[in-house]
Structure 1
Amino acid sequence: MTISVIDSASSMRQVLATTPSQRTDLIREMWAPMAGMYHFIPGGVDMANVHRQNFGFDWDGATEPIREGLERLIEADVWNRITKALKSGAAALRSANLGIEVPDLKVLLILGNPENKHFIDEVQGLSAFGGISGYITITIWPTPQVLKRLEAIVVHELHHNVRYSPDGIMWDPLTVTVGEQVISEGLADVFAAEMFGDSGYTHFVSASTYSDDEVLAKVVSGLHITGMQNFTAWVHGDATARLLGADPVGLPTGAGYAAGARLVQAYLDSTGTTAAQSIGTPLDEVLRVALPRLGLRLNREQ
């Protein structure tokens, strides 16, 4: 496995140092190594738009807060920490699953937009994606909580990356269900917790959401739903759904993460396995074991 953590510190510094008219192209250059994530889109995508969609910092806005955020990232040694976390996470997965293939990785860390209220207040300075094998993007604002959780954030995305590797679970946009994402988030969070304790659990999910039986039952009622445009409300909650123009379903932020963690833990407790060992376990098997243990049933209406 080759880990390529992009030197985005230099790229972001260059963006901030140049004239506003030159910044858009530099943003595209910074994101260029990640273009392979969008190989399935004819003609590719504008990576400057990808930056915005990932809550990336506003290169046309005030630069001083971004400079200060960048210095905090450098002081926290985040790029080296990401590399070390990926190596330790990969080792843990290999140890739990003999013969498992961990893909070569390209990893991009960027500063988020501190002026975006949803990014700062609702998801508390974190937006990350590791669902396309070989690539991980992490957008953060360097709050103490985010910096403390950095390694857990990284291995969470690594778990996704390996689960959806070519030899792993297939993510078919036409047939994938809410349940698959819910269980994948639960597995990734529990894996991070196996490595880093309670800090493994996604921090924008409140403790009350993790323990709310009504939230769990509500999410379970939507596990059968297909169509990725419908996933946001069930996994990320109503606030994110509204932001993206989707219909809310009556769930708090991170409800799918909380439900996923409870379902996964029920499965692991029943089988005596770990989230590392269960990285390739199919959704149906997790639900077959977990739902009865929690006194729940799957809604199979289409």
Structure 2
Amino acid sequence: MDITVLDSYDAMRRVLTAPVADRAEIARPFLEEAKGMYRYFPGEPDVVELHHLGGGFRLDADDDRYFPALDLMGQADVWTRVEHALGRALGVQLEAAPGITVPDELVVLIVLAHPDAFFIDTNLGMSANGSVTGYLWINIWPTPEVLERIQATAVHELHHNLRYANIVWDPATVTVGEHVVSEGLADAFARQLYGDLGYARLGLDALEDDAAFATVVSGLDVTGMQNFVAWVHGDEHARRYGAEPVGLPTGAGYAAGNRLVDAYLAATGQTAAQALLADREEVIRTALARA
């Protein structure tokens, strides 16, 4: 697999030095290099609109915070660190599971976020997606904590990319349990390589919350992706995106996934890399039997 980390740093600098009225069209070419990540969207997706919906830096307004933040990303060598981390992680994964299907190319788009209150206070400065085979998107506001975890974040998303190159994700029938287990497996893989930095920050506060864990477990058989934001990300995200809250703190699904997967790995003696394609029902059944 060829790993292509797009040079979005220089592209974003060009965008931010242009007049506001021109920025969307200047940004469009580099955003369209990763347009394939939207291939399951209905119709013809507009990459600029989706950039904004995903929390990317605004292309229609000036913000004096953008250039210093972009400079921080450059000084932290984010693009090189992500590329090296993905190459290393791919090698570890292929050694553990040499027969898996991998995409021919992985296109990686790293973008600067817009630091509104929700992105900073609830998302904790990071959003990413690696679920569409062949594409990986990382959207960050470069706080010290986010920059420290950037390799682990990329590796977490690589795990999703490889899992769903081999397991079919049907939006209509997929369960909350699959999503929760996939987050736990991805975190476990990132922790295999980076220790505690591999925990998704979103779920850290809920790791020891037994009530939240029990609530997530009660919803593992819920189907349909429209329900996932509430069960996996929690009530604040549900309200933000128009879903019905189910009484969960932020990141509860991530925390529950870590607990389930850790119990499963302990019971089976596998590494996270070896468990890439573990069946969600087996993970859940084995983990709950140890509870």
- What pairs up with 1:31-50 in 2 under 5 angstroms? 31-50=31-50
Secondary structure of 1:274's counterpart equals coil
What SS does the aligned partner of 2:174 have? coil
1 CA distance for matches of 2:98 and 2:110?
Answer: 30
The equivalent residue for 1:105 is 106
Matched, 1:24 2:24: yes
Matched with 2:177 is 179
Gaps of 5+ in 1: 295-302
3-state SS of paired residue (2:243): coil
Structure 1 partner of 2:238: 241
Distance 1:269 1:47, change over 3 A: same
Task: Give TM-score, length-normalised by structure 1.
Answer: 0.94
Partner of residue 261, structure 2: 264
1:288 Cα deviation from its structure 2 partner: 2.0
Counterparts of 1:140 and 1:231 in 2: how far apart (Å)?
22
Contact 2:20–2:59 (8 Å) recurs in 1: yes
After superposition, residues 81-96 of structure 1 pair within 5 angstroms as 81-96=81-96
Choose the corresponding residue for 1:252, options 249, 266, 275.
Answer: 249
- SS of the counterpart of 2:65? helix
Is structure 2 residue 128 aligned with structure 1 residue 128? yes
Matches within 5 A, 1:3-22: 3-22=3-22
Aligned to 1:55: 55
Is contact 2:212-2:248 (8 Å) kept? yes
Please tell me the residue identity of whatever aligns with 1:270: A
Q: What is the match of residue 186 of structure 2?
A: 188
The CA deviation at 1:239 is 0.4
Deviation at 1:206, TM superposition (A): 3.3
Q: How far 1:205 moved relative to its partner?
A: 2.3
Moved more, 62-71 or 260-269: 62-71
Larger mean Cα displacement after TM superposition, 55-64 or 170-179: 55-64
Q: Which residue of 1 aligns with 2:159?
A: 159
Q: Give the distance between the partners of 1:291 and 1:179, measured in 2 at CA.
A: 13
Amino acid at match of 1:110: V
Q: Name the structure 1 match of 2:197.
A: 199
Cα separation, 2, equivalents of 1:250 and 1:6: 39
Change over 3 Å in CA distance of 1:93–1:218 after alignment to 2: same
Distance (Å, rounded) in 2 between the aligned partners of 1:229 and 1:41: 14
Residue identity in the other structure for 1:198: D
Q: Which moved more, 1:104-113 or 1:281-290?
A: 281-290
Aligned partners of 1:174 and 1:226 also within 8 Å: yes
User: 2:25, 2:62 → 1: CA distance?
Assistant: 18
Deviations 1:270-291 (A, max 9, x none): 0000111111111111112111
Identity of aligned residues (%): 50
Partner SS, residue 191 of structure 2: helix
Deviation digits for residues 26-85 of structure 1 (CA, Å, limit 9, x no counterpart): 222221011112223354200011101211011223332110111000100111001000
CA-atom RMSD in angstroms: 1.1
TM-score by length of 2: 0.97
1:220 counterpart (217, 221, 235): 217
Show the counterpart of 2:208: 211
When residues 249 and 270 of structure 1 are mapped into structure 2, their CA distance, relative to the original with a 3 A threshold, is: same
Q: Retained in 2: the 8 A contact 1:9–1:70?
A: yes
SS of residue in 2 equivalent to 1:210:
coil
Matched, 1:292 2:261: no
Runs of at least 5 residues in structure 2 that lack an aligned partner in the other structure: none
Q: Distance in 2 between matches of 1:250 and 1:43?
A: 34
Match of 1:283 among 267, 280, 288: 280
